[in-house]
C-alpha cells in the first residue's frame, strides 16, 4: 500500500515576466520499505517535485496524498514536523549547537522530555556510527561525511517514516557517499522507511529499488 501518492501533479512558476511549467502531470505511488531515486538533468523539475512531496509547496494542479489524505487538507507544519524528514546537500545543522543538541532539536519541538530526547539522540547517532566522542562537538569540527551522518541521525530522531533527501551526497567523497547510501538503503529495507532521493550520483541511482527519470518536468520512466 502506498504511503505517498501523486495524482496528475503539476507545478507552474508564475512571475511578472514569464510562466514556467516545472512539473507536468506526474502520477506515482511511493511505498514503505523501498528506496527511490529521482534523476534527470538540472532544471528538469526534480527539486520542485521533492519540495511538493515535503509539503513546502502545493501542486498548481493535481494532488499529493499522504496515507490517502491530500496535503492541501493537512496541517503542513505538523506534516513536516512529524511525518517527513528532509535531508539537504548543505546539511543545515545549527552551527552553535553540539552534535547531540542538533539531533535532539526535532524531538524537543515535539515536546519530548529533554532526558528522553538526549537518550534517543545518542542512540540515533550510534546507529549512524557516531559514538560518544562526537556528542559535544560543534558541526565545524566534523568532516562533511560526519556532518551528513548527523543530519541523517536528526532525520531519524523525528520518527517520520518518509525520508526525503535532496542531493545528500553532493558534497561528499566516494567513501562517504557510499556510507550515506548504505545508511539510507538500510533504513528502507530493514526498518521500513520510504526513502526518496534526488541525485546525480549514479552509484545511488543504479542501486535504488526504483528510478524515476524526469525530463522537462515529466516522468519518462
Measured in degrees and rounded to the nearest 5, phi and psi for residue 147 equal -65, -40
Could you give the CA distance from residue 64 to residue 39 in angstroms, rounded to a whole number? 20
Task: Summarize pLDDT for 73-88 with one digit per residue, the tens.
Answer: 999 999 998 899 988 8
Q: Is the dihedral of CA 129, 104, 92, 95 positive or negative?
A: negative
Residue 221 has pLDDT above 70, yes or no: no
Task: Summarize pLDDT for 128-139 with one digit per residue, the tens.
Answer: 888 899 999 999
Q: Which helix (H) or strand (E) holds 24?
A: strand 19-31
| Length reported for the chain | 221
Residue 148 pairs in a beta bridge with none
143 vs 140, 161, 163, CA distance in Å? Answer: 8, 27, 22
Task: Summarize pLDDT for 19-42 with one digit per residue, the tens.
Answer: 889 999 999 999 999 999 999 888
State the Cα angle at 127 between 107 and 206, rounded to 5°.
Answer: 105
Global pTM reads: 0.89
Could you give the CA distance from residue 86 to residue 126 in angstroms, rounded to a whole number? 20
The set of cell numbers assigned to 121 is: 539522540
Whole-number average pLDDT of the chain:
90
The set of cell numbers assigned to 159 is: 520518527
Amino acid at each position: 500500500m502506498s504511503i505517498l501518492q501523486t495524482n496528475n501533479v503539476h507545478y507552474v512558476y508564475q512571475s511578472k515576466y514569464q510562466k514556467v511549467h516545472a512539473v507536468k502531470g506526474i502520477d506515482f505511488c511511493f511505498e514503505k520499505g523501498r528506496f527511490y531515486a529521482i534523476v534527470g538533468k538540472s532544471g528538469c523539475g526534480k527539486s520542485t517535485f521533492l519540495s511538493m512531496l515535503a509539503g513546502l509547496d502545493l501542486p498548481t494542479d493535481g494532488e499529493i496524498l499522504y496515507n490517502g489524505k491530500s496535503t492541501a487538507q493537512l496541517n503542513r507544519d505538523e506534516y513536516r514536523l512529524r511525518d517527513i524528514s528532509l535531508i539537504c546537500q548543505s546539511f543545515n545543522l545549527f552551527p552553535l549547537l553540539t552534535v547531540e543538541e542538533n539531533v535532539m532539536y526535532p524531538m524537543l519541538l515535539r515536546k519530548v522530555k529533554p532526558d528522553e530526547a538526549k537518550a534517543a539522540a545518542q542512540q540515533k547517532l550510534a546507529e549512524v556510527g557516531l559514538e560518544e566522542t562526537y556528542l559535544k562537538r560543534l558541526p565545524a569540527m566534523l568532516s562533511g561525511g560526519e556532518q551528513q551522518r548527523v543530519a541523517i541521525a536528526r532525520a531519524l530522531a523525528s520518527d517520520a517514516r518518509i525520508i526525503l533527501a535532496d542531493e545528500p551526497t553532493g558534497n561528499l567523497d566516494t567513501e562517504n557517499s557510499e556510507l550515506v547510501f548504505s545508511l539510507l538503503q538500510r533504513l528502507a529495507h530493514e526498518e521500513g522507511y520510504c526513502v526518496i532521493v534526488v541525485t546525480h550520483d549514479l552509484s545511488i541511482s543504479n542501486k535504488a529499488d526504483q528510478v524515476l527519470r524526469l525530463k522537462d518536468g515529466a516522468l519518462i520512466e
